[in-house]
Amino acid sequence: MTIDRIVLAFAGGMVILSLVLGYYVSAYWLFLAAFVGLNLFQSAFTGFCPLASILKKLGVAPGAAFC
């Protein structure tokens, strides 16, 4: 699995988790979904993603987006 796929899967999982927690626990959990979305948006333009940097240091194979 490449960095790109791990980042996308992690982001999707965090958004789903945030929505579930926002519904059942507190609406403040929706800020997590907003943070993840903003991070994905900025990484589309800058190419910088904190999770991608961590995965690269751990030796995960890079994909096309986060080299």
Q: What is the pLDDT of residues 36-65, one digit of tens each?
A: 999 999 998 998 999 999 999 999 998 877
Q: What is the mean pLDDT of residues 4-19?
A: 95
Distance, CA of 52 to CA of 66 (rounded, Å) = 6
Distance, CA of 50 to CA of 37 (rounded, Å) = 14
Confidence (pLDDT) at 67: 61
- Average pLDDT for the chain: 92
Distance, CA of 40 to CA of 3 (rounded, Å) = 14
* Predicted confidence band of residue 29 (pLDDT cuts 50, 70, 90): very high
